[in-house]
Structure 1
Amino acid sequence: MAKFLSFLRRSVISSIVGYAKDFNAILKSIELPELYASNAYLVYTDTFNRMELGHLQERKNPFTDKLAEYVKARGRSFQAVNLGAKSYLNSNVAAEREAASLLNALFVRYASEFSKNSYSGATGMINSFIQDMKQKNYAGAIATLKMEAKVKQLLDEDALCESTHLQAIVTELESEENVTASSIRGEFIKAASNLMVFIGIRASEEKGSKWVELNGQIAIHNAKFEKAEAVRQAALKKKREEKKNDQKPKA
């Protein structure tokens, strides 16, 4: 968990809030009354609510609305590609049926990532999807169904999401963060860590229970966020270096 918490500490407020919203959805979906009554959970939710309120009071990032728009467009393009492939599942041409079956299995695996309305948490899995799409067998299936244009549109929109998100992060880092949200960052991370430890202990004590299921879902969520942040922070570092080089006086 130490490595994950390190990523969380280095993340900007918007990424932390996005992570927490998805984390909250996992906690609520498991339906564990004992969890909701625990002190660890109550402290965590109180801390999150105060952090989110502070974040909402921040000066609005000019790239926020653009990013939301691009994420929705990417989701629509994914659905178009997905439905396009499914339309060939009952084709009279064997090659088309095989290509559609191969692509359909891939799309089912990643569909939930493209259904999210927020950018946070999805990047790592979507990067994996893009790499899969470039593999020879999937590229061949796309060509068989003559769907290259639709797939290119999807990949272009994902690239636009990524570049806009990086611009949003740069803008956020260059502006002064809201004092309320920033000051509570450490408190939130501590509360989240304590809650995860509490859940982990209960999972170890009650094998085969909902606690074990919840602990596993949290581990997957944290791994996705860690992977996404590693990619994002590397890209941000590169963008900063490029900006710094651009500002150097020419010889």
Structure 2
Amino acid sequence: MNKFQSFLRKCLLNSLVGFNKDLRGILKAANLPELEASNAYKRYLDVSMLLDEGHMQARKNPFTVKLGANVRARSKSYHAINFAIKSNLNSNIDAERNAATLLNMLFLRYSPEFSRTSYSGATGMIASFIQELKQKQNVDAIAVLKLENKVQQLLDDDASCEASYLQCIAKNMEQDEHVSASSIRNNFITAARNVITFIETQASEDKSGKWVELNGKVAIHNAKFERAEAVRQANLKKKREEKKKRSM
């Protein structure tokens, strides 16, 4: 948990807010009276809401409208390709059917990420999707179905999302609007750690299996977030370095 806690301290504020919303949803869906009555959970909820409120203040940014439009455009591009793939699943041509079957498995795995309406919700998993899309077997399948133009549109839309997102971050830093949410980052991370530790303790003594199930869901959520954010940070770093080189 200490390693994961350190990771949370380094992640982007938008990513932390996305992590918070997903974790809160998992805990509420568990519907465990013992959890809801605990001080650890009550404290977590209080700080969780404060983080959301601070983030809402930080989102008063002229670039957020542009970012939202780009996110929606990216989602439409994704679904356009997805529909084209599905239409070939029953093709009479073996090559088309096989290509569609391969790509359909990939698209189904990442579909939830493209259904999210906020950029913070659509995590670095999309970056992982794009890397998989560029693998040779998938590139070949895309060529068989003649989807190169549609895929390029998706990549262009994703690049627009990244550009708008960086503009949002720059504007927030310029206006210092992110301070209200950032100032409670440490309190949130501590509260999240405490409630997760409480769940782990209960799971170790669980007889019914409910705590074990919840603990497993939280662990999967944390691991998925850490992997996705690591990919996202690496891509942002790469883009900053490329931008720096172009300006030299």
Asked whether 1:87 is paired with 2:113, we answer no
Q: Tell me if the contact between 2:128 and 2:231 (Cα under 8 Å) persists in the aligned partners.
A: no
Residue number in structure 2 paired with 1:22: 22
Residue number in structure 2 paired with 1:194: 194
Shift of 1:99: 0.9
CA distance in 1 between counterparts of 2:140 and 2:243 reads 39
CA distance in 2 between counterparts of 1:246 and 1:87 reads 42
Specify whether residues 123 and 17 from structure 1 end up closer, same or farther in structure 2 by C-alpha distance, changes over 3 A only. closer
Alignment of 1:114-133 (within 5 A): 114-120=114-120, 122-133=122-133
Shift of 1:49: 1.3
CA-to-aligned-CA distance 1:178-207 (integer Å, 9 cap, x gap): 554333222111111101111112222227
SS of residue matched to 1:117: coil
Specify whether residues 239 and 57 from structure 1 end up closer, same or farther in structure 2 by C-alpha distance, changes over 3 A only. same
Shift of 1:152: 1.1
Q: How many residues align?
A: 248
CA-to-aligned-CA distance 1:42-70 (integer Å, 9 cap, x gap): 11011111232233234612222222221
Shift of 1:223: 2.7
Q: Tell me if the contact between 1:61 and 1:172 (Cα under 8 Å) persists in the aligned partners.
A: yes
Q: Tell me if the contact between 1:124 and 1:224 (Cα under 8 Å) persists in the aligned partners.
A: no
Share of identical aligned residues, percent? 60
Shift of 1:237: 5.2
Shift of 1:93: 1.0
Q: Tell me if the contact between 1:12 and 1:173 (Cα under 8 Å) persists in the aligned partners.
A: no
Residue number in structure 2 paired with 1:75: 75
Specify whether residues 232 and 10 from structure 1 end up closer, same or farther in structure 2 by C-alpha distance, changes over 3 A only. same
Alignment of 1:102-181 (within 5 A): 102-120=102-120, 122-177=122-177, 179-181=179-181
Specify whether residues 13 and 140 from structure 1 end up closer, same or farther in structure 2 by C-alpha distance, changes over 3 A only. closer
Q: Which moved more, 1:7-16 or 1:107-116?
A: 7-16
SS of residue matched to 2:118: coil
Q: Tell me if the contact between 1:121 and 1:228 (Cα under 8 Å) persists in the aligned partners.
A: no
SS of residue matched to 1:123: coil
Given residue 204 of structure 1, which amino acid in structure 2 is its aligned partner?
Answer: S
Residue number in structure 2 paired with 1:2: 2
Q: TM-score, normalised by structure 1?
A: 0.86
Shift of 1:120: 2.1
Asked whether 1:39 is paired with 2:43, we answer no
